[in-house]
Structure 1
Amino acid sequence: MLNELLRTSRRVHHDAMVCPEDVPKFPIQTLEEFQSFNARLEKNPLLGEYMVARLAAVGGSGVESLTRRIMKFLISNEVAILYNWKGRDKLSFERTYVMNVIYEAAKVNFAKGEKNDMAVANSVKLWLKFAKTRIMNSHKKLAKVDVPL
């Protein structure tokens, strides 16, 4: 309980920040939208600050939980399947400006350090890796729904 209070006291109050005009609708649904958003983050520091505060507010019980929740909030599984960490046979997520924002959002709620950065990176790697499985599972669930005629 004390840890949660400490995290809350560190958290940037995102309601006080004005939402920039160029914030997309989340989760981002297409590669083009994601790449455009990533480019805007590179050019607009205020957008980056807003997104750090917004993503930190997503919350989670630990670094891994927060990171998974951030990824689910940010991008759809259809975009996630186009990426992996290093970019072998896919696009690289590691070097995106979005990833820098994710690292910073995690630092708002949890102690700074290489250990937490590694936990964030590992969580993103796993989330990207299982995007195809999540898509297939959602299709199975839809197929099981009996539609009355």
Structure 2
Amino acid sequence: MWCVVHFTEEDSVEVVPSSWYQSGMCRWPSIKGLEKIRKMVEREELPQNGWQECKARLMGGKYYDSLKAAREKCVLAEATSDLNSDVEMGRGKRKRVLIPISSESEDEENTPLNHQKVLPDPPRFNEVDSCCRKERARSVSGGTDEQSTSETPRGKRNLTKFEEEVLRGLSFLKRTVKDVEERLKAVEECQRQLSADLKNGRVVPSTSTSRETMETLNGFPLESMEELNEMEMKLMDSSYKVALIEELSLIGGSSAKDFLVRVMKTLISDSLAGEFSWLGFKKKRPFSQLKLKEVINGAVRISKWGEESQVAIANHVQEWLKHGKFRHERKSKKDALEKQL
């Protein structure tokens, strides 16, 4: 037999075997898994040592021969204190201990019986939209937000994973737009220089651009400081500088480092490279102050390795310059051995 009991402290109701209830106390299994408890109720298992004892009262003052009838009364008991009446006379809706009627799994663990949820709460899209508007405002103004939480009408809270993904995407777009703006400024500056040179007569337009492009790399690699100084003067001509950048960008390579090594080999010899370091340390000349450095940066920017950072470019060039002296000495020894043979 079964009965409907009201757990007074929790203000909840449930169907239990009659053997579980006695003198205002109801025994309750100290196990995990609502499915297991449901089966124990259906089989009318006897209470065991170690079960919890909860304060309860018998609803309707009667026992039921069928579990189905008891469950129907349990539904009624959620709204009324008198199970013999069809009129709601209770203090209001009670909670019900959610023992499932049927289930194929026993994975409900560590969750309060009367507060278990099947699905998580859906995201609050008004709050997500608020975060997106704030991030867009920061992107336009160029400011930063030191707070890691978004503010809603309910107060401050932690960001959800969805909102964090949105903010990361906006941050990436902000960096991309900034990079595009920098490249656009460089192109506009080059156009202004070309226009100024044309107006001042320093650049003579010519239709033989293909021939000039073919002859752009004539005289490379540079072998001495005299040749380098002459090239620095020549690079003051912006049209030649642009043509050299375009020609070098076509050299190719398997990576940004390989591309820069090919460009450096094309521009200067190992013997001349040995006289330079990137910043001029160890009593060497500073390569970073040459106009040739600007040519190298420009060639990288319009190549397929245009995303390479300035720091990475400087590191690759510095590494190649550092070993210039050793490459030159090794080549000299090799040439000497070949002459002896």
TM-score where L is the length of structure 1: 0.78
**1:95-139 CA deviation, whole Å, 9 max, x = no partner?**
2110011011011113545x4322221111011100011012112
Q: Report the equivalent of 1:7.
A: none
Q: Report the equivalent of 1:96.
A: 290
Q: 2:273 and 2:305 mapped to 1: Cα distance?
A: 27
Q: Report the equivalent of 2:212.
A: 19
Q: Report the equivalent of 2:179.
A: none
Select 2:320's aligned residue among 119, 127, 138.
Answer: 127
Displacement of 1:146 in angstroms is: 6.6
Select 1:65's aligned residue among 258, 282, 291.
Answer: 258
Q: 1:23 and 1:73 mapped to 2: Cα distance?
A: 8
Seen in structure 2, the aligned counterparts of structure 1 residues 103 and 121 have a Cα distance that, compared at 3 Å, is same
Select 1:28's aligned residue among 202, 213, 222.
Answer: 222
Seen in structure 2, the aligned counterparts of structure 1 residues 40 and 22 have a Cα distance that, compared at 3 Å, is farther
Q: 1:67 and 1:22 mapped to 2: Cα distance?
A: 18
Displacement of 1:23 in angstroms is: 6.2
Letter in 2 for 1:118: V
Select 2:332's aligned residue among 112, 115, 139.
Answer: 139
Helix, strand or coil for the counterpart of 1:145?
Answer: helix
Aligned length: 132
* Alignment RMSD (CA, Å): 2.4
Structure in which a larger fraction of residues adopt strand: 2
Seen in structure 2, the aligned counterparts of structure 1 residues 60 and 40 have a Cα distance that, compared at 3 Å, is same
**1:24-52 CA deviation, whole Å, 9 max, x = no partner?**
511111111111101221x2100110110
Select 1:80's aligned residue among 260, 273, 280.
Answer: 273
Q: Which 5+ residue runs of structure 2 have no aligned equivalent? A: 1-208
- Native 8 Å contact 2:270 2:325 kept in 1: yes
- Native 8 Å contact 1:63 1:116 kept in 2: no
Structure in which a larger fraction of residues adopt helix: 1
Letter in 1 for 2:289: R
Displacement of 1:145 in angstroms is: 2.9
Helix, strand or coil for the counterpart of 1:57?
Answer: coil
Higher relative contact order (CA 8 A, sep 6+): 1
Q: 1:17 and 1:101 mapped to 2: Cα distance?
A: 20
Displacement of 1:17 in angstroms is: 4.3
Q: Report the equivalent of 1:8.
A: none
Q: Which 5+ residue runs of structure 1 have no aligned equivalent? A: 1-15
- Native 8 Å contact 1:17 1:50 kept in 2: no
Q: Report the equivalent of 1:106.
A: 300
- Native 8 Å contact 2:256 2:305 kept in 1: no
Seen in structure 2, the aligned counterparts of structure 1 residues 138 and 111 have a Cα distance that, compared at 3 Å, is closer
Letter in 1 for 2:326: T
Q: 1:59 and 1:124 mapped to 2: Cα distance?
A: 16
